A and B are shown apart, each in its own frame.
Chain A
Amino acid sequence: EVQLVQSGAGVKEPGESLKISCKGSGYSFISYWIGWVRQMPGKGLEWMGMIHPIDSDARYSPSFQGQVTMSADNSISTVYLHWSSLKASDSAMYYCARLDVGVSTGTIDYVDLWGQGTLVTVSS
């Protein structure tokens, strides 16, 4: 089965670090960019950025540049989203998403596969 499976929910205090994961299976993991999408409680979807597992080339939305770090380990078909110092405002559901991307243009066509989401709660 083609799927993206994300790590479980995390509860952290402000200032702590956190790394969540997204593992692909059932397809050639190194052939697709993986994006990250945030959904704050009761709110809409926000584009965070994307990473290519083959070389860890990461591209960030300006809104998230410097706030998170994306990384990849293609030996285990997994990408990660990392916070070095969480804030309460980072509390949200985070989705990883497989992207259909134009090879030469970098233009993203659509998300054809979503992970199940990871709920991050930051509270003292």
Chain B
Amino acid sequence: QSALTQPRSVSGSPGQSVTISCTGTSSDVGASDYVSWYKQVPGRAPQLLIHDVTRRPSGVPDRFAGSKSGNTASLAISGLQTDDEGDYYCCSSAGSFALVFGGGTKLTVL
């Protein structure tokens, strides 16, 4: 199972919006209602941002929005803040008892 494809880095200024793409195949992202997104800051475990493609856990602001079209999922972040900096990973179910992660995207808030 190959990793999902994400851009290595994205950047934006405070207040702006950015979108991170996550491209898989018809065996994972394209076939799945179970795409999730995680944020990781250096030295810490990942944290859940989005699950089931579009759903936000309680406590995650609505500035974060997930979507999917075909084999590509996306995470949109609006109203960028400096503490949004970190590494963002997409993840998809890949059949029974399997997950596949994206390679990660480093978000820099300029």
Contacts and interface: CB of A to CB of B under 8 A. Distances in A.
Contacts, number: 71
A33 to B, nearest CB: 8
Interface string A89-120: 00000010000110001111111101111000
Given A109-B34, A111-B38, A116 B97 contact: no
Interface residues of A, number: 27
Nearest to B36: A110
Interface of B: 1, 3, 32, 34, 36, 38, 45-48, 51-52, 57, 89, 91, 93, 95-104
10 contacts: A45-B46, A47-B100, A49-B97, A61-B98, A109-B51, A110-B36, A112-B51, A114-B46, A114-B47, A116-B45
Given A109-B52, A111-B36, A114-B45, 7 more contacts: A95-B45, A95-B46, A107-B93, A107-B96, A108-B98, A110-B48, A111-B38
